[in-house]
Amino acid sequence: MLEPVVGISAADVRTLKTQVMRLERRHLVLQALVEDICSALLHCDDVALMERHARSMGDIYLDTGFTTTRRPRMVRQEIVQIMNRHNVSDKPLMYTWKNNRFSVQQPPGENDTQGGVDIV
């Protein structure tokens, strides 16, 4: 418990407490936002496809003489390192899969999956 400071009124203390509570809520929202954005980048299919394409191209060259090279840096590996450094957890994303093997034509309005089976 903090000791009272001379010259600060009870109203000032209540105002400070309210401001601290607001900042704590905003901090939690921003923390959740960072976790969600990082997780989305880690698990997105388009990022994985771009990384696969970049890996297939090989090393990156600094000059036109092909004398200085480096391995490509992958965004997902960089994000994982940043998340680990700052203790940010990874949230798995929920996917909805559609099984196309069991496509049966049904009358309109009976099934919203349009002939497939949704797997959550």
In a domain, 109, yes or no: no
pLDDT tens, position by position, for the chain (120 residues)? 566 667 788 899 999 999 999 999 999 999 999 999 999 888 888 888 888 888 888 888 888 888 888 888 889 999 999 999 999 888 887 778 788 877 656 555 555 554 444 444
Tokens linked to 111: 């099934």
Pick from 99, 88, 98: nearest CA to 41? 88
In a domain, 84, yes or no: yes
Number of domains in the chain: 1
CB 59 within 8 A of CB 70: yes
Adjacent-strand bridge partners of 117: 99
Q: How high is the pLDDT of residue 95?
A: 76
In a domain, 106, yes or no: no
The residue range of the domain holding 19 is 10-93
In a domain, 3, yes or no: no
Please provide the average confidence, as pLDDT, over all residues in the chain: 81
In a domain, 74, yes or no: yes
In a domain, 105, yes or no: no
Query: Counting runs of H as helices and runs of E as strands, what totals does the chain give?
Result: 3, 4
In a domain, 38, yes or no: yes
Q: Where are the beta strands (DSSP E) in the chain?
A: 60-61, 69-70, 97-99, 117-119
